[in-house]
Each structure stands twice: as C-alpha cells, then as structure tokens.
Structure 1
C-alpha cells in the first residue's frame, strides 16, 4: 500500500491515510466497546495447575497461552483481552485472537465482535493505551465495567472496515510466514548441533565433516580447565548513553547491552573474542569488540589455547538441559564437562564457522521479522485515527 493511494485528512475522527474509495466517506464513529462486542466471560473457567490434565488444547490466560489441557470450552475465533496480570499500554499486545478449540481462564476477558471483524478489533485494542481504565494495585485489573466503557473508533462503512481488516490480515500472514521461517532455521540449527557435538558420555559426534572422519576421539576437560576470567578496569553503572557512544556497556540482561560509553579507561580489550555469562540470568554471549562492564552479575570468560572461543560458545549453548543446568551461578558452569577436538586439526574452527553462519542467517531472518512488525505498527498508526490515551 503506497502513500500516494490515500489522502491525508487533517482533522476530525479520520485516519491520516485512507483507501481512495473512502476519501469522502466522512468521519469515523466512536462507540463504547460494550456496544461492539458480546462478552462471553460467563463461559470461561479457571483450572488450578494441580487439576489440569495435559492435552492438545491451548489454555489461555491474560497474555496468551499458559498451558495445554485435555479439554476445551471454546471452538470459535474470539478476541481475548487481559483482565489482570496483563499489559495495557499502546502496542503491548493487550488483545489477541484465539481460534480453534481452546480453554480460557478467568484472567482474560472473552470478546465476540459485532459489526466488525476480530482482526479489526484486535488491531484497535492493541493500538490504544488502556491503562487509564485500569483500577487497583494488587493486582491492577481491567474490570468488566471499565472494559465496556473503552471508546472504540471505527469506520461507519462496512466496506471500509473490511478493506482495513483484509490489509492487516495480509500483513499478519506475512509476519506468520516469516516467524515460521525463523523457527525452522532455529530448529535446523538445534538438530545440527545435536549431531556435530557428541552425546552425553560419548567422545565422537554422530556427524563429522569428511576431512575429520578419521581424526579419532575428542578430548574431555572441565570448563575451568579451558578458561580464565577477565577483570574489567572498572564498572560503569551510571551516566551511560542510551543510543550513542563508541563502546557498548554489557550487563546480564537478555539484550546484554545496557548502554553506551566513550570512556576508554573502562574498556575490556577483545584481542580474541570473549564470552560473557550472566550469573542470575544464565545469558551467554560472545563479544568481539571492546566493551565496558555494567552492573555486577556477569563473568567475562577468556578461552585458553586449547579451544576456539566460538567453538566453546556454541558448545555451551548446546547443553542438552539448557542454561538452567548451570544453576544460575558461574561456580556450577566451571564444573561442566566439555568434549572438544584438538584445536590444531581445524575441526573446532570448521564447526564454529558452520554454526556461526547459521546464527547470522537466524539474525537476518529475525531482523526481517522485526521489520515487518515495525511496518505493520507504522501502517496501523496511519490507518486509524491517532489514538489518544483514553480517559477513564
């Protein structure tokens, strides 16, 4: 959809971009949510974790699927919206569509749209800031009464509603296809790692590159015998740049970069790539550029001459029980067994290069997925009248 195919109204309850055939269709209508939906909360039922019988049907809570159970109470497409324990800010996935056979607990409102599609309603509820309608603090809650009062702005024309919903549905299909492609790559890498590294208790992998098939068994050693730790010159916990600065400041968060700095006196040199391990989050990253350490809670790890840093990184990611097996502490990580080929044969480097190339593909696909989501968000902001924070 190009900007040239739509007009740009300047006032009233109208979007900034509009399909050509609706340019003269007038302002949109504002109605309370309770007038646009049948609310099916009386049909939902909570099941305590002790009483749940595992099965194939999704069990929905405030923000999505929380379990799978043996029975269902809904068998139709409906819109779910968090009642408590959810996020209610703009674009925080306040609402989502459930379809097929599923169960819903009492933490999500169940909405059946009337006069507009579920895709359109989900998009509108996702866009707006519902937080002014939230009451209480322990926990905060979107009550049924407040839910019904949320003002929803929709086109008067049924055809315009359908056109917008079709546009968003096509984007959703692209996003879903891209997400499937990303998941397939991750699954492929996981399966490849299971073959490129020996199984527990073994010293030869099931799959080897042709030139190493006669290279013999791998070596075995504890992590602590293959590494040393690096102490940073100092730690930076304040006065960090959010998106500027020449050097990243690393902590133990999932994103692992908590800010940026120009302070060269705080830098850890990266003559060779280093591993960074979060003591409490179990996040493991490999870093190949100078950086500063942020808050406490990370260990900076340097591989010795027996192992390539990238090989050790991939091997530790491959842990069959997952990072939780490290019990959230570096002292446990040090006792983990590593099985590795002789570094002089080049097998470590070949495995690391193979898996790193897959990581690059996965990162590229993840960027494409993020770009599609960003495009959809930007388009929604133009296809709907600008959502002001709704007043309770």
Structure 2
C-alpha cells in the first residue's frame, strides 16, 4: 500500500488528511443523502431459504454484523428462490440493516461489488451515482454516530428510509472518492491477510497439540522430539496425586486483597488462556469470598468447561469462586505443561463429559482430581511446554500487529473524511 497523504491545515469542509493531488481541489460539496441517492428495500430470504448448493448468491441482514466488512466481494450464502421473488443488486449498492439490537450496531454499511446479488429483507439499499466503496467507508466511519442518532427503538432498533434520507454528508470529486476507497480497501486487504495468518497459526497449534499429547488409550504421543523417541512410554498418573487446588477463600474487601486484580471467567479467553480487561476487587465492588492465587497457580474455570478457559498468571491476585487455582504439588509435573494439558482436546472431552447435568454445567473438585493422565519425564514436559509457549508468543505478536492495523484504520477513517457539523445542520 503506497498512498502518500498530507495534513490539511486550512479551514473549510475538507478532510484533515488529503492526498497531494487533491489539496487544491477545493471543499467537498454538502448534500442530504436523499439528494444523491435513491432508496430501496431488500426482499424475502429467510434463514430456511438458504441452500448450501443454491444457484442464486444472496445476502441476509445478519451477515453484515458477523461476516462482511465495508466491501462485499465474495458472497457466501445461496438460495434457490425464484428471481421474481427477489430484489437484486446493482454494482456499488450500499446496504444497511433496517433492524438490529442496538443503535450503534445498526449503523453498519457495506458496498456490494457485484450485480444480481439477492438482497434480503431488513436491508436498506442505498443506490447512487457516487462511489459505493467510498460511501460505505464514510457511513461506517464519520457518519456512524449520525446514523445511530436517527435510528429508532430500544429493545429492537429500526432504521427507516425516512431516517437515512435526511442524513447530511459532504462528497469530493469522483477521482478523490476513488483514491480514498482504494486506500482503505488496500488497508483492509492487509488486515484480512494478517487475520488469516493468525487463524493459520491457531490451526497449526491445535493440530500440534493433538500430536504432542497421547490420544485416549495411548501412552505415547504421535509426534515426539528426537531426543525422547527412545525414552519409552509415558507414565500413568492420577491428577490428584500431582496437584493441589486452593480451598480457603479470602475476603475481597480486606486491605490485603482489595487492590489486587480480580480474575473472573469473563476475563479468560477461551482456548488461549489470555487474560483481558481485569480490574481490582475494589473497582468491581466485590464482597463475596474469592480464592487467592500467585504465579505458581493455574486458573481453571469450572463453569461451562466446554469454553476451555485456562490461564497461567504471572502475578498475585484473587479469582472468582467459580475458578480453581491449581498448582503442581510434585516435582514430577511442570506447571506450564499442566496448563497445556488442561487446554488439550483429551482433557476438554473428559471435563465436558464429567460436568454436572444442571442448567449450568460445571466440573467439581472430585472429578477434576480423579482425571487419569499419562505424563513423560519432566525434561520432555518442558520441551513440549517451550514449543507451545513459543508458538503462543508468535500468535500474540501477530495479534498485536492486527490490533495496530485496525487502530491505524480507525484513525485514518477519522481523518480522511471532514468534520460534518456544517453538513449536518
């Protein structure tokens, strides 16, 4: 991506950042959306109408929230509804949901890159002679809050043609629209490629873990480091003989604990164990009993074990009573290896199978300690843990890069479009 952008220090309805060739092109022209576009409504296409092998590509409104970004090139859904019962797209149509759960969520736009794509009901279709990709980024960026302001309803939010028609905006010449669209599209391509790298690394890690731990009924893994290939079978053990689980709870209002970070199940990311958005007990106003932990413990969330939430903190804190702080009690067991064992498919299947049959499944202390595992010598455990830890570090680095790219896009979108106060009056 090579788009040189200069900061604009002049006044008027122009963006703060502008490409050099347009710095002398004057101000953007202001309009109501109804002055530059016509509005249509999608038609039909229920969830039951989606057919994996259908001939007609289609888009349903819910997919704007979960699948698509500002530009829709590859359409994933298909239907066999007859064309006469459908509303078909033109190239460059911009679609916006007409119903949703929140006002900010409903302010979501996407440009359809192809013609004859069936557009489902609950979709507003904005059809204009402007650059659809430019308009989509504009609506998702500088105009997102303006759209949210005109949406109606609380429990179910609606966005009508009459709301969109009055929306104020400013547009530049077609050439500048195309330049902005190309810049942001190329950045989105980088973001998508980075996300694909992360997905590939996670898939690799999942496959590696399946090979590095023995399958049920086996005593050696299918993939072993060269120095341990002649080390013999792994030893069968009962988890309760190798670990201890915290039992005594502490008062989170006690000065000794109130300023320490608190970890609840919601703070542990599924399958990765990353800790996120933690606050202190005092900040959360916690009063019920908690467990204390430190850098020797592993935090295992016993509620809904299928969520696979296991963390290895490197600090002191307190955790929810729905989390077990577990630590090795024997030199036979390496802490980091134990953490990966608890994240493995084999243990996940055991925990899910042995969780309670209540409305909220959970693994009790007795079932956890009764788990039968096979383990290698400590040196092989450490090699496995080091291998997976280095892979996690690589995933973290790529995830951080993805976050930086998304932050760059957000900042760029704020500056590539002008302040709209004058346009929205």
Matched, 1:143 2:143: no
Q: Distance in 1 between matches of 2:60 and 2:234?
A: 47
Shift of 1:224: 5.1
Counterpart of 1:299 in structure 2 is: 324
Gap change, CA 1:2 and 1:162, over 3 Å in 2: closer
Of the candidates 140, 160, 166, which is equivalent to residue 182 of structure 2?
A: 166
Of the candidates 80, 83, 101, which is equivalent to residue 95 of structure 2?
A: 80
Q: Is the 1:280–1:297 Cα contact (8 Å) retained in structure 2?
A: no
Q: What are structure 2's unaligned runs of at least 5 residues?
A: 69-74, 81-85, 270-274, 284-289
Gap change, CA 1:303 and 1:5, over 3 Å in 2: same
Shift of 1:60: 3.5
**What secondary structure is seen at the aligned counterpart in 1 of 2:278?**
strand
Shift of 1:137: 1.9
Moved more, 125-134 or 96-105: 96-105
Deviations 1:351-374 (A, max 9, x none): 111011100000000000110111
Gap change, CA 1:48 and 1:7, over 3 Å in 2: closer
Counterpart of 1:319 in structure 2 is: 345
With structure 2 as the length reference, what TM-score do the two structures score?
0.74
Moved more, 352-361 or 162-171: 162-171
Q: Distance in 1 between matches of 2:337 and 2:34?
A: 57
Counterpart of 2:279 in structure 1 is: 259
Shift of 1:308: 2.1
Counterpart of 1:348 in structure 2 is: 381
Counterpart of 1:250 in structure 2 is: 263
Of the candidates 157, 176, 181, which is equivalent to residue 197 of structure 2?
A: 181
Counterpart of 1:193 in structure 2 is: 209
Shift of 1:150: 2.4
Of the candidates 293, 301, 319, which is equivalent to residue 277 of structure 1?
A: 301
Matched, 1:71 2:79: yes
Query: Matched residue pairs, number?
Result: 379
Moved more, 374-383 or 250-259: 250-259
Shift of 1:153: 2.5
Q: Distance in 2 between matches of 1:272 and 1:69?
A: 49
Moved more, 22-31 or 123-132: 22-31
Q: Is the 2:96–2:125 Cα contact (8 Å) retained in structure 1?
A: yes
Q: Distance in 1 between matches of 2:319 and 2:328?
A: 21
Q: Distance in 2 between matches of 1:387 and 1:296?
A: 50
**TM-align CA RMSD:** 4.1
Q: Distance in 2 between matches of 1:277 and 1:310?
A: 17
With structure 1 as the length reference, what TM-score do the two structures score?
0.79
Deviations 1:86-134 (A, max 9, x none): 55439x972234557976543443444531132x122111112122111
